[in-house]
Each structure stands twice: as structure tokens, then as C-alpha cells.
Homo-oligomer: A and B are copies of this chain.
Amino acid sequence: MLELYDGALDVPAILKRWYEEEAKSNYGAYIPFIGTIRDEDSIEGLSFDVYEPILISWFNSWQNKAKAKGAIIKMAHSKGDVMLHESSYIAAVFSPKRRVALEFIDAFVEDFKASAPIWKYDLKHGERIYAKDRSTAIQGSGILS
């Protein structure tokens, strides 16, 4: 399940709903990863563009990898502006066993950072500045150059 929200995430509500959705699914391990906007580089917040069609197919391919190990993943992400100390990202894995869950959340979050079609902007003095230095070219980039 992939959820997109305008602005900041209501983290406690999402963590609670996901926990309750899977309460009887017989998973032994639930590991959410929550990403929160840090106060650094004098930013007022961050802003996100999301390209949904490719994000959905990327997410579905990970959901299939999870299913092959008896696990499932859920993810929530913000669109638009998210202010300091608010949260923009939750990814969670549910799995029967802890090793699968611990390895899966790590691999998922790292590939999310490298591949998910989301663009981040610093909010500074009311401007929206592409976070070029922290961004990663998707694998296979540059074929048109």
C-alpha cells in the first residue's frame, strides 16, 4: 500500500492504522522507518515533487519482492511543503521473522533513496531550491546525452 499526502504526515495515526490493519495477519515483526525534516543549513522546510506513475510501479516491484519472502511493505510520502521537525516519509515492513524484516527495511529505504521518482527542494527565504547536491541520478541516466 502506497499513500501520498499533501504536506506533513500524521505519523502516530499512520503507524497506529498500519499496526491495526495487520494485527491478525500473524506477522512477528513490524519495522517502520520514519523520516523527519531536520533543522540544518538554515532551511525553513523541504518541498517534494512526486511522479506517481513510476513511483507506483517502483513500489509494486518491491511489494512483489516482499511477498516472495512472506512479507509486506507499506509506504507514505508527502507532496508539497513539509516544515522543520515535521515528517515526510514512512516506510514499513511486516514479516513473520525478524531477520527478513531487518534486512528488507534497509534494502528498501536505500533503493527508495536511489530510485524513487521524488524530487526534493529546500525552502529558504520563501524560495524553492532544488537539492541538487543531495540528489542521486537514477541508474541508467544519461542515455540521451
- For residue A124, which residues in chain B have a CB less than 8 angstroms away from its CB? none
Query: What mask results when residues 15 to 39 of chain A are scored 1 for a CB within 8 Å of chain B, else 0?
Result: 1100110011011111111111111
Known: A26-B85, A102-B106, A109-B102. A34 touches B16 (CB 8 A): no
Q: Which residues of chain A from 94 to 112 have any CB-CB distance to chain B below 8 Å in the complex?
A: 96, 98, 101-102, 105-106, 109-110
Cβ of A55 under 8 Å from chain B: no
Cβ of A12 under 8 Å from chain B: yes
Q: What secondary structure prevails in chain A residues at the interface with B?
A: mixed
A34 to B101, CA, bound (A): 10
Residue from B30, B38, B96, B105 within 8 A of A28 (CB atoms) = B38
Count of chain copies: 2
Decide if B34 touches A31 in the complex (CB within 8 Å): yes
Cβ of A11 under 8 Å from chain B: yes
Residue from B12, B20, B35 within 8 A of A29 (CB atoms) = B35
- Interface size for A (C-beta < 8 A) is 33
- For residue A29, which residues in chain B have a CB less than 8 angstroms away from its CB? 33-36
A32 to B109, CA, bound (A): 14
- For residue A31, which residues in chain B have a CB less than 8 angstroms away from its CB? 31-34, 105
